Amino acid sequence: MLRKLLFRLNVLPVLMAMTVMVSLSAAGAATVTGVRLGENGDITRLVLDLDNASSFRTFLLDDPPRVVIDFPPMDWRLLKTAGRQGRGVIAGFRFGVFDQGTSRMVLDLKRPARVAQAFILPPREGYGYRFVIDLKPVTQKEFSTLLRPQGGLPADLAATRPAAIKLPPVPVARPRHRLPVVVLDPGHGGIDPGASSLNGHREKDITLAIARNLARHLRATGRVKVVMTRNRDVFLKLRERVRIARRAGADLFISLHADTISRSSVRGASIYTLSETASDKEAAALAAKENKADVIAGVNLSGHSEDVAEILIDLAQREAMNASASFVSYLLPSMRRRGIKLLRKPHRSAGFRVLKAPDVASVLLELGYLSNRRDESRLLSRKGQSEIAAAITDAVLAYLEKQQAYNR
Ligand SMILES: [Zn+2]
């Protein structure tokens, strides 16, 4: 198939522009119906079949090297497994909703490469519209010069030693006489599917279903206000999730996830809280995996403002860490009471980015393993989801009651 539209290398224009904006008039929302990869010499080509023309924009990201292609909202009718296997310089790719106005495709590169050319082909010779992108390997040095100017602090401020910057911590506004706010954070979403079960169920859908169920349980008590970081299949940066929690004046932040592991016999839930040093190797590896969500979605993680912010929030964080641990002390027995299987050492800690709201008690729940049949069916079943929701609800109420007694 690809050979048919193979291009003549000698006419490849040398396009140095790394950001290419192509606007076609009358471009409605397109449907993507196919994807192909091919190689010709040192050029790797990716082709998307579209039912309509579309505008697009490409740019490069580093650490690890990636090519990001942004389209207006598109309907991706590709196999779930598409993108698992790469070719040429492309190690693999992902696609999906990035935000309301953007559909994104992220190409993971085996080595640095630049966009040699990218264009939309009009229908011709039995083919419909096609989006074509050609990648050419470059040196790391060349790749670095092609990266888009980075955001973050101005150079002079970024160069300042963080310890020398003194800013007061920003307190979260918590008006009195109001219901405590519980923020639920369904993990992953949009372009970032999270883990996949044996039967192809995706973590992002499971976490959303359980969060909705939990929201219903919590609201039914009439004793808390519930805020969801997302209530649909959309990608959110990890920092954006934290920001939502702070803006809502959260008293408690609960991030919901499900993991996979190569040994399919392993099952059980675990609860994670934040710490700078991971409690064990597994916890560190898991944090690294969950923290990759932004990389998966093609978010630029460079820039220094984050480092500075982290220093500033450090102190406030300590208190929140104690509160988080206190919530875990309610959550564990509550889950056991509801017959939810837990890992042998169920409370662990590591540096999860999503738990870094400075003054909000935060936990990340790995609700079970999608690689285990029994865990998978529990996480997918209405009954299993309700058991989890009930266990968390009991713990939330008990925890908040104690906190309120303490603050009175
Ligand atoms: Zn996850």
Buried b (16+ CB within 10 A) or exposed e, 92-125: ebbbbbbbeebbbbbbbbbebbbbbbbebbeeee
Residue 406's pLDDT band (cuts 50, 70, 90): low
269-274/252-259 β-pairing: unpaired
* Spacing, Cα 286 to ligand 1 middle (Å): 9
Residue 241's pLDDT band (cuts 50, 70, 90): very high
Spatial distance between the Cα atoms of 97 and 234, rounded to a whole number of angstroms: 6
Q: Which of 151-165, 186-200, 217-231, 314-328 has the lowest mean pLDDT?
A: 151-165
* Spacing, Cα 258 to ligand 1 middle (Å): 6
Closest CA to 142 of 58, 20, 69, 60: 60
Residue 149's pLDDT band (cuts 50, 70, 90): low
Sign of CA dihedral 70, 76, 79, 81: positive
- Is pLDDT of 22 > 70? no
Sign of CA dihedral 332, 333, 338, 340: positive
* Spacing, Cα 255 to ligand 1 middle (Å): 9
Residue with token string 């307190």:
171
What does the pLDDT read at residue 299? 77
What does the pLDDT read at residue 292? 85
CATH of 170-407, one of 3.40.630.40, 3.30.413.10, 3.40.50.720, 3.40.228.10: 3.40.630.40
Cα angle for residues 114, 84, 20 (degrees, 5° grid) = 25
Q: Where are the domains of the chain?
A: 2-146, 170-407
- Is pLDDT of 158 > 50? no
- Is pLDDT of 23 > 60? no
Q: Residue 64, preceding bond cis, omega within 30 degrees?
A: yes
pLDDT in tens, 262-288: 899 999 999 999 887 788 888 888 888
Helices and strands counted in the chain (H then E): 9, 15
Of the CA atoms within 13 Å of residue 388, those in its CB half-sphere come to: 33
pLDDT in tens, 112-127: 999 998 888 888 877 8
* Spacing, Cα 85 to ligand 1 middle (Å): 22
Burial of 339 (0-12, 13-18, 19+ CB in 10 A): exposed
Q: Which of 15-19, 214-218, 252-256, 396-400 has the lowest mean pLDDT?
A: 15-19
* Spacing, Cα 203 to ligand 1 middle (Å): 7
Matching fold, domains 2-146 and 170-407: no
DSSP H or E run through 224? none
Sign of CA dihedral 108, 112, 113, 114: positive
* Spacing, Cα 260 to ligand 1 middle (Å): 9
Residue 301's pLDDT band (cuts 50, 70, 90): low
* Spacing, Cα 371 to ligand 1 middle (Å): 13
What does the pLDDT read at residue 28? 62
* Spacing, Cα 186 to ligand 1 middle (Å): 9
Most distant CA atoms of the chain, gap in Å: 77
* Spacing, Cα 219 to ligand 1 middle (Å): 25
Q: Which of 74-83, 145-154, 169-178, 241-250 has the lowest mean pLDDT?
A: 169-178
What does the pLDDT read at residue 316? 63
Spatial distance between the Cα atoms of 310 and 308, rounded to a whole number of angstroms: 5
* Spacing, Cα 251 to ligand 1 middle (Å): 22
* Spacing, Cα 176 to ligand 1 middle (Å): 34
Residue 139's pLDDT band (cuts 50, 70, 90): very high
What does the pLDDT read at residue 326? 92
- Is pLDDT of 388 > 90? yes
For residues 138 and 106, the answer to whether their CB atoms sit within 8 Å is no
Residue 320's pLDDT band (cuts 50, 70, 90): confident
Q: Which two tokens stand for residue 318?
A: 């300590």
- Is pLDDT of 160 > 80? no
Question: 2-146: which CATH architecture?
Answer: Sandwich (2.60)
The contacts of residue 243 (CB under 8 Å, 6+ apart) are none
Strand order of the sheet with strand 361-369? 225-228, 181-186, 252-259, 361-369, 269-274, 342-350
* Spacing, Cα 238 to ligand 1 middle (Å): 11
Of the CA atoms within 13 Å of residue 190, those in its CB half-sphere come to: 24
* Spacing, Cα 384 to ligand 1 middle (Å): 18
What does the pLDDT read at residue 152? 36
Over the chain, what is the mean pLDDT? 82
Spatial distance between the Cα atoms of 182 and 249, rounded to a whole number of angstroms: 9
Spatial distance between the Cα atoms of 193 and 201, rounded to a whole number of angstroms: 10
| C-alpha distances out from residue 226 to 217, 286, 402, Å | 10, 27, 19
What does the pLDDT read at residue 217? 97
* Spacing, Cα 292 to ligand 1 middle (Å): 9
Q: Which of 24-38, 66-80, 243-257 has the lowest mean pLDDT?
A: 24-38
